[in-house]
Structure 1
């Protein structure tokens, strides 16, 4: 999406590059074979030895960040949740909202007006005062800016007209959010989205480049000197070495202190190794170079055997708050006169019986047994099962238990036939063949693709499975839109269903199965919105407007029924949230919601015995 620490903790979905069970510190969106460590500079053990006197946490990510600019990024970035924070924070075990940059908040009786009071003496990492002006700038000039498309913008729109809340200063330390109509997640979204520095970014927002677009869209790229990226979270960017690591250091101006008045966090550095693959990350952890590792099912047994000798503990938080799915490109539009998807294949993909047949043909129990080693459950809904809004099969959620005969029957109803060679063809005789992509280096997704290829071969469908680099994959899904089918997942959003509105809104920035053109992109001609697709989009607006919880549940139940009936996402497996944490990390409060390090501010790093 979605390991995802998501200090935009209550925010929108994003692409998740990592397998389920990794740290929630990398965001389906939103949204990662063995690679040898060729350079001594990439060896985390050597790095740890060189700086043994500096208390640090070392984790792994599978790929390089595309940007350090949160609003314009679509993939999960573990550094951003540590560098930036919002008015409120979230308890990683209970989900309860707690004070952040704001020390308190008041809600009007009609729940359409929220007044936040900032803490006294807040500062940015460069020492500049953090004030109400920064809050107003972040929302009015960035998140509400039509020239700056973002997932935050998607979920902050209120009602059918997509209006934004009004944000005003009402005192030296008070800022007021007024919703134009009832908006159930107003507190969670307004409080959880990162506040950005006006004194640094205003020039980028209010000026344009040679392309006529705001310079903000290219600000804070990965080539930006770290000293120019000004933060308000517990850590700041110290250095970034592509293909090697991100080093964060403690923010001396972070607001939080313990009961004795000592500044937090206690751990001075937070290091993110760019591992490239889960296999490499495992090697790094076993050699002592990492402090935390998401435990994927394929090496759970190995890790469990080494738990005592390796001086670590494996935490189990239950089902992970991420999704894993197969999706077809349903976009029937063209760009510059060229169809985004081959029209023949587009007809297959847009036939609901075809998608349902594929769903029935995937043996998810075999996925669980063979790939997840039993450490997972079938995933049937886009809403996490921990959410009170999740619909169950017992209450009417359609599911697709493995049934090859049902799959074949659906294909026949849609005019597909099997030829003498056992290959599937459409009514015009075109053999059914498509390319399936996922992000290279994620062994679980690579294994899923290989087995799905085998499963669909039983229907006579030829699948060309091609793992590719994660950033290339995200570019295809959000920019060029030249893809046929993919396996990916979303992370982020938490238990609030409206956090996934950027996926289900027909104009959302992660409406991945039928993505519209984003601001600044070439237009798409002939894009078609299906009736069910528009209905889900409308229901998400209604759900956000409804303040009665029982009625909200009924609305989101209908969205889930429609999503499963028309299967734009064929959900696969929900793995358990498993993480291995060194016993030298003290104070861990692990949960599937927050992960291992959500309370980084109070963790301490003990010296190895």
Structure 2
């Protein structure tokens, strides 16, 4: 880390307390009885003045305004300030109340009763109630909706509303990951009167900010929601301004035209120096990975996938793409269930072993993999792809790189239209929410994952039934080992985000999951 930068380190030491939050279902009754205000007031500062317009520099336009289908980071983080969820994660990644003020769980873990907050309204002024929760959860569960987090509700059999402020979930089996998963904006609560077409034009949520305007490929502007159920935000507006070139964002920060940006490239962050600029470095749960589609062509052969895994020096990719600022990782980055990065067939690069695996593979001719890579969504992608290509060339495997702009990349990725994909995927504190939708046979992103097995199906089922911390850790260790032994993907490294802010902007708390939810506590010093 450069000593030229006035950096501060932010984020939990990637807290083990998440395990307790994930296991709250197993605690049965009185799962949460807090007043729910802590997450809204704790990070703020009494010295900040209400008002002001914040401009955040971003490199790409959100590819959707519909929260149930959002996978692009820019869309997810912006929409997280517009929409509310039944539960939330605080700055320590602990589960806290959201639109559900309290919840109780039956002794057998099969009935969850949520009590909703009173007086919550949507941005259009309509009231929020149990009918909206039933509509939202049932719509997410409906295959036709194509919601990207529908697997998080796979164990829900029925959603009912005994009255306006109560919602009851009947589960087929206990679900230890339910409450952490419900905090995702992909499970946002929408009005039962809204449609996808309408929301893709004018989002209508219950969050601390409301959607104001969008100029495609230029900006999205949010305004403070004065009717928000929690402590109102300090800022009048937040504009996400699209500036494709990161060096131009840095210049705008230094000139004061932009007051905030989040970079993932330490070299870019190093250039953002100046007396008016602060930089906060935050370790992330998200992970860089070479995704392999094991259902296509030569990748269906395990020996080919093992050759790829053994042919890659992950530290070299990290050093080349991110100046070594990060950590080599295994599959699971969740704090309480973190994988051992060396628990794999080739902990270190072994070119000769890779060539042996390739020689044993039942494939005809050279192995050439159509490999997609996103340009614009995160800065290190192309450098990662080029380094991976150079390393695998030495093994006799060609990555045929196809750079795509962010929106086109997401479309190809969601359709699983690739042999391999250089990806930055979001991590979650709950491992089932992180991977259950990918690697179970009925997971809604299993086509994207390109792999499933009966063994993994059983392990994920066990993980949600387990009530003991150590037992869950062992189960997810087994999940990780299966993924690595079968070279399902090649997990590379976790890295940092670098939140660059004007020194007058205070009260914002960067989070390990990349969320920008604490824009609601940010403000300008008087």
- Aligning the two structures, in what range does the TM-score lie when normalised by the shorter sequence? 0.7 to 0.9
1:405 Cα offset (Å): 1.8
Select the residue among 287, 292, 309 that pairs with 1:328: 292
1:176 aligns with 2:140: no
Which residue matches 2:504? 584
**1:179-194 correspondence runs (5 A):** 179-190=171-182, 193-194=187-188
1:601 aligns with 2:525: no
Which residue matches 1:275? 243
**1:159-558 correspondence runs (5 A):** 164-190=156-182, 193-198=187-192, 200-201=193-194, 204=195, 216=196, 218-221=197-200, 224=201, 226=202, 229-257=203-231, 264-299=232-267, 302-303=270-271, 306=273, 309-318=274-283, 320-332=284-296, 346=297, 348-381=298-331, 383-384=332-333, 386-392=334-340, 396=343, 398-414=345-361, 428=364, 430-441=365-376, 442-479=378-415, 481-513=416-448, 533-558=453-478
1:243 Cα offset (Å): 1.0
Please say if residues 498 and 544 of structure 1, whose CA atoms lie closer than 8 Å, have aligned partners that are also in contact.
no
1:285 Cα offset (Å): 3.0
1:296 Cα offset (Å): 3.2
Change (3 A) 1:61 1:553: same
Q: Distance in 1 between matches of 2:346 and 2:189?
A: 41
Q: Distance in 2 between matches of 1:74 and 1:147?
A: 17
Q: Distance in 1 between matches of 2:182 and 2:388?
A: 40
Change (3 A) 1:235 1:168: same
User: 1:139-172 CA deviation, whole Å, 9 max, x = no partner?
Assistant: 12x12223212123111101xxxxx242222344
Q: Distance in 2 between matches of 1:462 and 1:559?
A: 29
Select the residue among 494, 499, 519 that pairs with 1:574: 494
Which residue matches 1:87? 86
Q: Distance in 2 between matches of 1:191 and 1:166?
A: 20
Q: Distance in 1 between matches of 2:246 and 2:221?
A: 20
User: 1:337-359 CA deviation, whole Å, 9 max, x = no partner?
Assistant: xxxxxxxxx0x211212112112
Change (3 A) 1:295 1:132: same
Which residue matches 2:31? none
- TM-score (norm: length of structure 2): 0.83
Q: Distance in 2 between matches of 1:466 and 1:147?
A: 30
Change (3 A) 1:593 1:474: closer
1:437 Cα offset (Å): 1.7
Q: Distance in 2 between matches of 1:513 and 1:72?
A: 14
User: 1:170-217 CA deviation, whole Å, 9 max, x = no partner?
Assistant: 34422222222211123333465311111x32xx4xxxxxxxxxxx4x
Please say if residues 177 and 432 of structure 2, whose CA atoms lie closer than 8 Å, have aligned partners that are also in contact.
no
Q: Distance in 2 between matches of 1:63 and 1:509?
A: 26
Q: Identify which range, 554-563 or 58-67, moves more after superposition.
A: 58-67
Change (3 A) 1:288 1:514: same
SS at match of 1:540: helix
1:589 Cα offset (Å): 3.2
1:477 Cα offset (Å): 2.3
Please say if residues 109 and 173 of structure 2, whose CA atoms lie closer than 8 Å, have aligned partners that are also in contact.
no
Q: Distance in 1 between matches of 2:72 and 2:177?
A: 23
Please say if residues 269 and 498 of structure 2, whose CA atoms lie closer than 8 Å, have aligned partners that are also in contact.
no
SS at match of 1:482: coil
1:390 Cα offset (Å): 2.0
1:448 Cα offset (Å): 0.8
Q: Distance in 2 between matches of 1:476 and 1:590?
A: 30
1:108 Cα offset (Å): 2.6
Change (3 A) 1:191 1:54: closer
Q: Distance in 2 between matches of 1:294 and 1:265?
A: 20
Change (3 A) 1:468 1:283: farther
Select the residue among 131, 146, 150 that pairs with 2:147: 150
Change (3 A) 1:166 1:482: closer
SS at match of 1:358: helix
Q: Distance in 2 between matches of 1:435 and 1:286?
A: 40
Change (3 A) 1:301 1:440: closer
Alignment RMSD = 2.7
Q: Distance in 1 between matches of 2:208 and 2:520?
A: 7
Select the residue among 104, 107, 132 that pairs with 2:105: 107
Change (3 A) 1:313 1:472: same
SS at match of 2:461: helix
**Higher strand fraction (1 or 2):** 2
Please say if residues 325 and 488 of structure 1, whose CA atoms lie closer than 8 Å, have aligned partners that are also in contact.
yes
Unaligned runs of 5+ in 2: 1-17, 23-49
1:266 Cα offset (Å): 1.0
SS at match of 2:395: coil
Q: Distance in 1 between matches of 2:181 and 2:486?
A: 29
Q: Distance in 1 between matches of 2:302 and 2:248?
A: 40
Change (3 A) 1:472 1:392: same
Please say if residues 265 and 379 of structure 2, whose CA atoms lie closer than 8 Å, have aligned partners that are also in contact.
no
Q: Distance in 1 between matches of 2:497 and 2:136?
A: 33
Q: Distance in 1 between matches of 2:205 and 2:53?
A: 19
1:491 Cα offset (Å): 0.9
1:136 Cα offset (Å): 1.5
Which residue matches 2:30? none
1:328 Cα offset (Å): 2.5
Please say if residues 100 and 114 of structure 2, whose CA atoms lie closer than 8 Å, have aligned partners that are also in contact.
yes
Q: Identify which range, 538-547 or 438-447, moves more after superposition.
A: 538-547
